[in-house]
Amino acid sequence: MHIHIENDANGPDALQLPVELLRQRLETHPQLRSHFTLTENSDATHSATFLANADILWAGRKLALDQFAAPRLSWVQVMSAGVEQWLPHLPQGVTLTNASGVHGDKGAEFILMAALMFNFGIPGFLQDQAQRLWRPSFGGCARGKTVLLLGVGGIGSAAARLLTAQGYRVVGVTRSGECSAPVERCISIDAIDEVLPQVDVLVSTLPLTAQTRRLLDRRRLDLLPKRAGIVIVGRADVFDYNAMREKLNAGELAGAVLDVYPQEPLPTDDPLWHTPGVVMTPHCSLDDHAAYLEGCLEVFIDNLVRFRSGRALRNQVDVARGY
């Protein structure tokens, strides 16, 4: 059986999977030794040749697979958690697994940091600093404040643990209204309107699907109290960014910590750069390049063992749901 690695020549060196590293891992694993042949490619012009003979694909970059003849391909392991750009081009019968959970530890710390920033009024203080304004504000501790956590997958579950330990009251939101994350309660997406007016911090780790696109539209943003802060580390198009920006300009939200944007890089003339209360990071809050490749490789090796034994794969994407 043949595994092909597609690396991204334009990506960081730390995210390239060398074929020798994978070969070493396979040869030292008793259940995988001598069962696979390997190739690697980082030149997009040569992908078709390699994919023609691949049974399994490690994808370090996005590929429109329906543009290639890959008659043997049965499974694709991608290095991202989001898969919305893969699904429209996924050939029928090909299994897709993602890197869900690899971002968990760093993502959870970022979310906790952002929540505490709102608790201590940091977005407002940063705005005052830029204008040389001295406006003390004396608040309390985070304990007892409400975080509405949109999505409790790998990142959301890890964030729920840290937030709960800090004393926040965490309400999780899932498609079904059920989850195993350490939250006070879990509700379905359809029930969020009743909770939004109680929220101190709204956090989104959601993937982009037909159900989540513009989930937080102007009507729902209007349900949030003025004290609420927004943290977005999932997909940007879950929110109406224009409506959010207008509410921030009007002083109707406490602020927003944003790591993702409708267009990236964010254009230099985008008004979001100058929106009061916004703290921006350039889509880097979740990734730890020192550990990310190793985390993805751990998922892949585990899945190769499962694949050989005919067991269900870890992080298998439900094509109908989109995640």
pLDDT, one tens digit per residue, over 92-146 is 999 999 999 898 999 999 999 999 999 999 999 999 999 999 999 998 999 999 9
40-85 pLDDT, tens digit each: 999 999 999 999 999 999 999 999 999 999 999 999 999 998 899 9
The CATH architecture assigned to 104-280 reads: 3-Layer(aba) Sandwich (3.40)
Q: What is the pLDDT of residue 139?
A: 87
Mean pLDDT, range 256-273, rounded to an integer = 97
**Would you give the distance in Å from CA 74 to the centre of its chain?**
25
Contact 244, 256 (CB under 8 A): yes
The structure tokens listed for 142 are 């985070």
Contact 255, 118 (CB under 8 A): yes
pLDDT of 283 above 90:
yes
Contact 229, 254 (CB under 8 A): yes
Q: How many CA atoms lie within 13 A of 242 on its CB side?
A: 1
220-237 pLDDT, tens digit each: 999 999 999 999 999 999
Q: Within the chain, how many helices (H) and strands (E) appear?
A: 8, 12
Average pLDDT, the chain: 96
pTM over 0.85: yes
Phi, psi of 149 (to 5 degrees): -105, 105
Question: 2-102+288-309, superfamily in CATH?
Answer: NAD(P)-binding Rossmann-like Domain (3.40.50.720)
176-186 pLDDT, tens digit each: 999 999 999 99
Residue spans per domain, the chain: 2-102+288-309, 104-280
The structure tokens listed for 293 are 């490749």
Q: Do domains 2-102+288-309 and 104-280 have the same CATH topology?
A: yes
Round to whole Å and give the CA distance between 303 and 173.
28
Comparing CA positions, the residue from 174, 192, 204 lying closest to residue 321 is: 174
